[in-house]
Amino acid sequence: MSEKMLPIKEVAARFGIAEAELYYYGPFKAKLEPSLARRLDKCESCGRQVLVTATTPTPAGEGKTTTAIGLSMALNRIGVKSIVTLREPSLGPVFGMKGGATGGGASQVLPADEIDLHFTGDIHAVTTANNLLAAMIDNHIQQGNRLAIDTRRIAWRRVIDMNDRALREIVIGLGGRQNGFAREDAFNISVASEIMAVLCLAEDFQDLKDRLAKMVIGYTSKSKPITAADLKAVGSMALLLKDAIKPNLVQTSEGTPAIIHGGPFANIAHGTNSIQAIRLAQALAEVTVTEAGFASELGGEKFLNFVCQTGKFNVDAVVLVTTLRALKYHGGAGKDHLAEKNLEALVKGFDNLDKHIENMQAFAVPLVVAVNYFPDNDAEELALVVKHVASRKAKAFVCDPFNKGGEGCQDLAREVEQATRSGARVKPIYEPGWAIPRKIETIAVQMYGAARINYTRQARKDIELLNELGYDKLHVIIAKTPNSLSDDAKALGRPRNFDVDVDRVFLAAGAGFVVAVCGEIMLMPGLPRNPAAENIDIDAEGNISGLF
């Protein structure tokens, strides 16, 4: 595929990035040096921002990344300078359920294989920094425990960038005193590390260090929080992250810029790329296109309520991606029959679409629906979706980024570009100063459609402690299943009159939020029965199969 790519310095030059502002990782990838951000800080102009989210997906996904890339390419085609900003794929999902996560067909970011795998090593750096802190915690206890860390209340887990359910609950320190203090522990997937969230939210290197210092790793028996700064771990972690904090520049399949940086999941964290990446793109382009993970009630809500408030930027338009197969799936059609014409299931699935439209309209930002085309789609069904969306005071456009690239998204691009000129401002649905339960309940009722919110005894104790320690004014991130609007993965369509159960609430002080865990949500995913890894291969000539 290298013969189809431009040298990254040419892609950069087209958008005014000097060669001295690049740190090369071969001919097709580069880090963006801090000198670029310092230069652009002096610029007065700031481009418009588009958020790409989706309806509740099928297990295979609905092509949200492909659509975001296609939209950005289409904007460039119609004469509007655009950059797409995306998250870096995690190896867990790449070898697990989804396979590659760099778009598809004629709408990809390149070099896809390198981006899907180790890329520029950012996730490795996050993993190493996280596990250094974990090692320093256990070493501190072994060496006398001067900080009086309660070993039953250590909140910091080790991480690995892989789906491995066997590591969800483990015992460490076995084999005698020379091997440390025996205790229960667990692994999370790397992108669930608070350090990944901190990396994506930091404004610059100093802000990164300040946020690392605030991370709470555990408590004393008297509930005093112990931070990474208390362990004197901040400097070493920052050193490990010195290159990872720099956003990565690559290109789309049409040679337009893409900035890929960070990778927090939207079902267990805030679910979008770094604020630094977005700000750079906004300074370089007329329109920045940013994808948020999963559907509107997860990545969409978190982007509008938290990310753009933290980053102090506006969202000028929202694109809601859906597909016929997703709507029919949520209308009751079986997984093996989603390609078949089924008007009854499609109409029932409009319930799910309507809720996601309402969710995004609640933030008072212009909304455009993108119906991602698949070759088996029926023309009558596509027309019915467009007509239905019009009845919900929005416009829908059928787009085909997979087969046609930017050309297949030009009608969508024209409408989105016009929508970004409305001057609308994001209206968050809650204030950070509200009580934690009120913030949780506002999100659950308004975004999910919940009727009641229940708290376990542990969740109530967690909230009480956060109140006592002064962390109650932080934003709330809800961790729940992405497979339903509710916290029950099996509840398809638009569930009504349901409860949301808050099992526990934990602190991410460095990131600036608290996480409410609802339903059965795993911070360490497992591989499916037939993982994507079984179909991935490379031959003696270096040709890769099964990854894309």
Any idea how long the chain is? 548
pLDDT tens-digit map of 31-73: 999 999 999 986 666 899 999 999 999 877 889 999 999 999 9
Helix-helix angle 379-391:343-361, to 10 degrees: 40
Check if the beta carbon of residue 278 is closer than 8 Å to that of residue 285: no
Q: Is 541 within the bounds of a domain?
A: no
pLDDT of 100 over the 90 cut = no
**Residue 545 placed within a domain:** no
pLDDT at 371: 99
Task: Check whether 2 has a pLDDT greater than 50.
Answer: no
pLDDT at 78 over 80: yes
Q: 75: domain CATH number?
A: 3.40.50.300
* Domain co-membership, 154 together with 50: no
Residues 110 and 157 in one domain: no
Shared domain check, 193 and 47: no
* Residues 323 and 257 occupy one common structural domain: yes
Count of CB atoms within 10 A of residue 421's CB?
11
Average pLDDT value for the chain:
95
As given in the structure block, the two tokens for residue 497 are: 């009159």
pLDDT value at residue 1: 43
pLDDT per position as a tens digit, 412-445: 999 999 999 999 999 999 999 999 999 999 999 9
Q: Among 221, 238, 255, which residue terminates a domain?
A: 238
Cα 27 from Cα 18, distance rounded (Å): 15
**pLDDT grade for 239, boundaries at 50, 70 and 90:** very high
Give a yes or no: residue 493 inside a domain.
Answer: yes
What are 360-374's pLDDT values in tens digits? 999 999 999 999 999
Give φ, ψ of 181 to 5 degrees.
Answer: -95, 120
CATH number at residue 490: 3.10.410.10
pLDDT of residue 267: 84
Identify whether residues 259 and 392 lie together within a single domain: yes
Task: For residues 254 and 395, state if they share a domain.
Answer: yes
Whether the Cβ atoms of residue 398 and residue 371 lie closer than 8 Å to each other: yes
Nearest CA to 514 out of 439, 456, 444, 450 is that of: 439
Among the listed residues 525, 529, 548, the one whose alpha carbon sits nearest the alpha carbon of residue 538:
548
- Percentage of the chain exceeding pLDDT 90: 91
pLDDT at site 42 = 65
Q: Which residue range is the domain that position 176 belongs to?
A: 122-238
Predicted local distance difference test score (pLDDT) of residue 269: 87
Range of lowest pLDDT (39-53, 66-80, 144-158, 322-336): 39-53
**Residue 544 in domain:** no
Same domain, 144 and 189: yes
pLDDT recorded at residue 44: 61
pLDDT given for residue 150 in this prediction: 97
- For CA atoms 356, 362, 363, 364, the dihedral sign is positive
For the residues 466-489, what does the mean pLDDT come to?
97
513 is a domain residue: yes
524 occurs within a structural domain: no
Mean per-residue pLDDT, 119-136: 98
Residues 279 and 362 in one domain: yes
Return the half-sphere exposure (C-beta side, CA atoms, 13 A cut-off) of residue 447.
30
Strands (E), 209-282: 216-219, 225-227, 248-252, 257-260
- Model confidence over 221-237: pLDDT tens digits? 999 999 999 999 999 99
Displacement of CA 152 from its chain's centroid (Å): 31
Of residues 215, 163, 161, 217, the one with CA closest to residue 190:
161
CB 266 within 8 A of CB 299: yes
pLDDT given at position 474:
98
CB count in 10 Å sphere of residue 242? 11
Examine the fold and report which residue of 390, 419, 448 is the final residue of a domain before the chain moves on: 419
How many domains does the structure of the chain reveal? 3
Q: Does residue 534 lie in a domain region?
A: no
Instruction: Kindly report the CATH number assigned to the domain that includes residue 137.
Output: 3.30.1510.10
Give the C-alpha separation, 85 to 77, whole Å: 18
Strand, coil or helix: 462: helix
The 3-state DSSP class for residue 45 equals: coil
Segment 162-188 shows an average pLDDT of 92
Shared domain for 357 and 505, answered yes or no, is no
Asked whether residue 231 falls in the same domain as residue 256, the answer is no
Q: What is the pLDDT of residue 45?
A: 66
Same domain as 215, residue 135: yes
- Give the mean model confidence (pLDDT) for residues 157-164: 96
- For 203-286, strand residue ranges (E) read 216-219, 225-227, 248-252, 257-260
SS (H, E, C) 315-346: CCEEEEEECHHHHHHCCCCCHHHCCCCCHHHH
**Cβ neighbours around 337 below 10 Å, total:** 13
Query: Of 238, 273, 302, which marks where a domain is finished?
Result: 238
If asked whether residues 79 and 131 sit together in one domain, one would say no
* Position 66 in a domain: yes
